Structure 1
Amino acid sequence: MAMIGTLIAVAVFLKTVSATSLGVVYTEGGMVQGENIRLGYRRHMDIFRGVPFGDIPGRFEKPKPHPGWDGIMKTTEFKNRCLQLNLLMSDTRGDEDCLYLNIWVPHGRSVSTNLPVMVWIYGGAFLVGGSMGANFLDNYLYSGQEIAERGNVIVVTFGYRVGTLGFLSTGDSSMPGNYGLWDQQAAIAWVHRNIRSFGGDPDNITIFGESAGGASVSFQTLTPHNKGLFKRAISQSGVALCPWAVNRNPRRFAEEVALRVNCPTDSRMAACLKMTDPVVLTMAGTLSLTGSPDNPLVNNLVLSPVIDGDFLPDEPDKLFHNAAEIDYMAGVNDMDGHLFTGLDVPSVNSQLVDTPIEDVKRLLASFTKDKGRLGFDNAYSTYTLDWGSSPNRETIKKTVVAIETDYIFLIPTQAALYLHASNSTTGRTYSYLFSQPNRMGGLISPYPSWMGADHADDLQYVFGKPFTTPLGYWPSHRDVSGYMIAYWTNFAKTGDPNKGELSVPATWPEFTNSGHKFLEINSRMDSSYVRQKQRLRYVHFWTSILPNLPDIISE
């Protein structure tokens, strides 16, 4: 009998020894313990959800360090997202106590040490979003598990303030704005100081993000406040130069919000706003998400970062010297603008209804209005050059999508790549175009059959969803997901997307100011998918021809 008891004790002991885990981890605030899961033979993962990196932030103030805690904090549940509007903008969700991060640490036969670290910044127009992303049947979009397991890297996601509480600014020192960017910076700095305890290499951190998160990544590379905190950066569908990424007249919207919550708009405005209920403030930051060709939706995204003289001491295009030593990868989806076009020109999604050429003209006129008739004429001839005398329905619809994709995402991203490459000393530059067709295109869906990759279509592949939920995808989707995880994690490890533990289907060349090479990414790709001079005619129009036309003097 004693023999059986001994055997059981030994078995229990071996089981605990063989479950590779960090156990209790010491951080600057105190001890944390996450959840350990088994991935396969001799493969485990520690997951920490809800680790504090900052205290409950003061209203319209920079984040403060967390005061710490006694005992062991169980970090097994995601914390609330930051207080924000719901998607219908009819109510709020979340909490002001939201500065927490989540960490995924993969282990092989022994506990990991010195792993590269990838820190994710979510998008959501600086208005909404959470560190765990959308949730479907307990399958969170931003779960770092697939990237961490397949790429053998640590993945970190975190919350930051959005909407009114994150970005409202009076345009002066009373409420300078950019609180959400400071939260991001505080999270990155916390990771740099603490990640060694989790088996990470603080000298090999990559930040990556999509949409407003991609622009945030870009801002974090440009601010002088991040020197030495991270080594590489990836911007997906968003950079600091995007027309929606900087609000150059923040005071106007601050006054609108003040009027909505019964605050004065004079020198007492900031003090009154700071005392207003946070839910009321958040509701007052509702933006109009309706668009038209004459007033495109992108112009309504006004809760965004500002040039505050502190986080952003100057215009973003003047700050690229700060990113000279950072390896940078950036790209867009081939129909990134489609999401916006569907709201501005709804006829693009109808298989049966023509999109009037008049709508193309109105849209171009609104994007070039500072340059008046001359700007419009140049734009119209650029976009209709290949139309011939009677363009078909599909040609016109695709042109509308291309106009918004170019203006909102692609041209600013090309400009950022160009500035990064021309300012870099040791930092390398890589450009991509993601073109895996949207899964809803054609058949009985609301989307046309010619759909390419819409805004945010890349997220499911980067986060490995075709592996997590295989029944929802085809083998080709697993191919493209595998390619993206390989390029992204190789880049995080070595600064070169081709070099690392994972093999890739094509050698991705660096982007240089003479070659302008880029990689087109989709499930059919091979070495022929290395391309050059992406949409050069349109890049030339938006970056060279249009800015050099005279501005019309507004009355």
Structure 2
Amino acid sequence: MVGFILMILCFLFSTAGVVHTEGGMVEGKNIRLGWSRHMDVFRGIPFADIPGRFEKPKNTQDGTAMKYKPRCLQLNLIMTDTRGSEDCLYLNIWVPHQGAVASNLPVMVWIYGGGFLVGGSMGANFLDNYLYSGEEIADRGNVIVVTLGYRVGTLGFLSTGDSDLPGNYGLWDQQAAIAWVHRNIRSFGGDPGNITLFGESAGGASVSFQTLTPHNKGMIRRAISQSGVALCPWGVIKNPRKMAEEVALKVNCPTDSRMAACLKLTDPVQLTLAGTLSLNSSPDNPLVNNLVLSAVVDGDFLPDHPSNLFHNAADVDYIAGVNDMDGHLFTAIDIPSINSMLVDTDVDDLKRLLAAYTSDKGIKGMEEAFSVYSADWSTTPDQETVKKTAVDIGTDYIFLVPTQAALYLHAEHATTGRTYSYVFSEPNRMGGLVTPYPSWIGADHADDLQYVFGKPFSSPLGYWPRHRDVDPNQGGSKVPATWPLFTSGDQYLEIHHDMDRSYVHQKMRMRFVQFWTSWEEVNL
């Protein structure tokens, strides 16, 4: 009888209780979601000790799991001050219990974006509604969700290009968290053999890097890169020492052999402030070219250029895709007239932007690129056509073409790993309603995040009913489309609220993909 009562109590109030990890015991908060549906939320579990300045993460410290921890030390959004802490290597876990205590569940590990400059494991917060809350994914997908913190900006990615300051510290943080999850997630009811990484923008590129490094061999089963892969032109910095010397000069350090030692002793706030991103962009100096704190080929985490490391992802299932107007956020900063109904966008601005993207080819390269992008124009194109073309140029160069290149390389080297491609086209909800979004805007950069984390369900008053159908899964969804393998004729799925079988397409923007990838010098 006692056993029967305990079984009933477990059914009515499922919880993992106190969980034993390698760093000690952690206790989460149990929340009830409905009849026989409960969830344990573990906040702020340490996966490594406070990191040494410009060092790999190490050890695991003891700690509780009752509150979210500060994000890693970083610039504020207007880059005038800093926020966060150097004590930031923590992760959060959502464990669903549907009728019984979780057991052998799939695990999804989220890596946030932010240009490798900003971001946190919980994302933006409005009235305690965190963007990266894993509750909806965990509950609706019956999976364990993990979000992690990693160093960004100067402290996470500054490199001298040699062994003095090899760089990639933020990527090492991510890798330490993945390894911790692999070692400990069974105690939370997860399956260490079924870990999926997912991330967006710099987080999507990070996911790509984590599948390519030899240090994660056997720990990752699946991976999803949203709007960012290792081959993006901002993914790997070719000349990291240039930025290191600029930072050194700003903090009064020498730029000779003493530079690394001096930087390690410099106040972390001053180091962070010295790593600002220049927003003084134009068609001649596009914003993407100013993303100068990123991954480096260090001979360790990345033993070679990412394009030569896809054999390490041969047994990883891989989904990668972009938003159909991913480049709008960036291109509208380079060419502000794109967002203006009153100011025309000069065709010369498009040519200047293309000249910056094809600088290694000179004027001939720009002219060739412009002929490709204007091939379908009428003799006198209207302003919407010109503005959309500018966004297409940014989308292709910054995100879409590198993503397609990564998919082809993954498919080429895959053994058991499967390859999938998508484009997200749900229009921006602000399009035509508020400045700076024009009425024709599609899915801008980061527009997919709200749907991935189930905000139409958790915050229904902010969405139309159709937004709850932006879901490519079959499961309980109304969506009838089946997601095809990329290897079946370069097929991809277009994700939209009214998608059906006609939303399976082939050869995404192939003319433009072939144009950019035909140049050996393009950073792909």
Decide: shared fold, TM above 0.5: yes
2-side partners of 1:66 and 1:502: how far apart?
41
* Contact residue 290 and residue 343 of structure 1 kept, 8 A: no
Contact preservation (8 Å) 2:47, 2:61? no
Alignment correspondent of 1:477: 467
1:215–1:240: 8 Å Cα contact kept in structure 2? yes
Match of 2:414 among 403, 424, 427: 424
CA apart distance, 1:376: 1.1
Does residue 247 in structure 1 map to residue 237 in structure 2? Answer: yes
**1:106 equivalent in alignment to 2:96:** yes
In structure 1, the partner of 2:57 is 63
How big is the shift at 1:547?
A: 3.1
Name the counterpart of 2:83.
93
Distance 1:173 1:356, change over 3 A: same
Distance in 1, Cα, partners of 2:434 & 2:271: 41
TM-score normalised per structure 2: 0.97
Q: Is 2:338 the counterpart of 1:348?
A: yes
C-alpha separation between the residues in 2 aligned to 1:445 and 1:252?
Answer: 37
Structure whose CA Rg is larger: 1
Deviation at 1:19, TM superposition (A): 1.3
**1:445, CA displacement in angstroms?**
3.6
1:401-425 Cα offsets, whole Å, 9 max, x none, are: 0000000000000000000001101
Residue 88 of structure 1, CA deviation:
0.5
Q: Aligned pair 1:519/2:493, yes or no?
A: yes
* Residue 170 (structure 1) aligned to one of 157, 160, 175: 160
Say which of 305, 310, 326 aligns to 2:300. 310
In the alignment, which residue of structure 2 is the partner of 1:468?
A: 458
2:504: which partner in 1?
A: 530
Q: 1:105-133: per-residue Cα shift (whole Å, max 9, x none)?
A: 00011101000000000000000000000
Q: How many equivalent residue pairs?
A: 519
Alpha-carbon shift at residue 388 of structure 1 (Å): 1.8
| Post-superposition CA distance 1:358-393 (Å, at most 9, x none) | 101100111001011221121010000011210000
Q: 2: distance between equivalents of 1:260 and 1:404?
A: 31
Task: Check 1:266–1:467 CA distance in 2 against 1; reply closer, same or farther (3 A cut).
Answer: same
What's the CA shift string for 1:218-249, capped at 9, x where partnerless?
00010011100110000000000000011110
Query: Normalising by structure 1, what TM-score?
Result: 0.91
Give the 3 Å change call, closer, same or farther, for CA 174–506 of structure 1 in structure 2.
same
Does structure 1 conserve the Cα–Cα contact (< 8 Å) formed by 2:46 and 2:61?
no
- Residues 35-50 of structure 1: matches in 2 within 5 Å? 35-50=29-44
1:547 to 2:520 alignment: yes
| Residues 59 and 165 in structure 1, CA contact (< 8 A), matched pair in contact too | yes
CA distance in 2, matches of 1:125, 1:164: 12
- Report how far residue 342 of structure 1 moved: 1.2
Q: Check the 8 A contact 1:122/1:130 in 2, yes or no.
A: yes
Secondary structure at the counterpart of residue 39 of structure 2: strand
- Partners of 1:17 and 1:38 lie apart in 2 by 12
Kindly tell me: are residues 59 and 40 of structure 1, through their superposed partners in 2, closer, same or farther at Cα, counting changes over 3 Å?
Answer: same
Q: For 2:452 and 2:441, how far apart are their aligned partners in 1?
A: 20
Contact 1:115 1:152 survives alignment (8 Å): yes
Residue deviations 1:19-53, cap 9 Å, x none?
11000000000000010000000100000000000
Q: Equivalents in 1 of 2:92, 2:295: separation in Å?
A: 25
Shift of the alpha carbon at 1:17?
7.2
Question: 1:151–1:502: 8 Å Cα contact kept in structure 2?
Answer: no
Q: Quick one: distance in 1 between partners of 2:103 and 2:72?
A: 32
Q: 1:149 aligned to 2:139? A: yes
Instruction: Kindly provide the amino acid, as one letter, of the partner of residue 58 in structure 2.
Output: K
Which residue among 224, 228, 233 is the counterpart of 2:214? Answer: 224
Q: Which runs of structure 2 are paired with 1:5-404 in the superposition (5 Å)?
A: 18-68=12-62, 73=64, 75-404=65-394
Q: CA deviation at 1:443?
A: 3.2
**CA–CA distance in structure 1, aligned partners of residues 7 and 307 of structure 2:** 59
* Counterpart Cα distance in 2 of 1:443 and 1:273: 47
1:151/1:501 contact within 8 Å kept: no
User: What is the SS of the residue equivalent to 1:148?
Assistant: helix
Post-superposition shift, 1:78?
0.4
Aligned residues of 2:12 and 2:35 also touching (Cα < 8 A): no
Partner Cα distance (2:47, 2:59) in 1: 7
- Establish whether residue 449 from structure 1 lines up as the match of residue 439 from structure 2: yes
How far does residue 291 in structure 1 lie from its aligned partner after superposition?
1.3
Aligned to 2:363, the other structure's residue is in SS state helix
Q: Secondary structure in 2 aligned to 1:291?
A: coil
SS state at 1:547 partner: coil
- Which deviations, in whole Å up to 9, do the C-alpha atoms of 1:201-221 show, x marking residues without a partner? 000000000000000000001
2:55 and 2:514 map into 1 onto residues whose CA distance is 41
How far is 1:504 from its partner?
4.2
Q: 2:491 is aligned with what amino acid?
A: K
In 1, Cα distance between the equivalents of 2:211 and 2:35?
39
Q: In the TM superposition, what is the alpha-carbon distance from 1:502 to its structure 2 partner?
A: 6.1
Structure 1 position 507 matched with structure 2 position 482:
yes
Per-residue CA deviations over 1:286-329 (Å, capped at 9, x if unaligned) read 11123100000000000101000000000110000111110000
Q: Please, which runs of 5 or more residues in structure 2 have no aligned partner?
A: none
Amino acid corresponding to residue 167 of structure 1 in structure 2: F
Cα deviation, residue 13, structure 1: 11
Distance 2:355 2:521 in 1: 17
Q: Give the Å deviation of 1:446.
A: 2.2
Secondary structure of residue in 2 paired with 1:252 = helix
Residues 323-353 of structure 1: per-residue CA shift (max 9 Å, x gap)? 1110000000000000001100000001121
Q: Matched residues in 2 for 1:388 and 1:214: separation?
A: 37
Percent identical among aligned pairs is 74
- Is the Cα–Cα contact under 8 Å of residues 81 and 95 in structure 1 kept in the other structure? yes
Contact 1:171–1:251 (8 Å) recurs in 2: yes
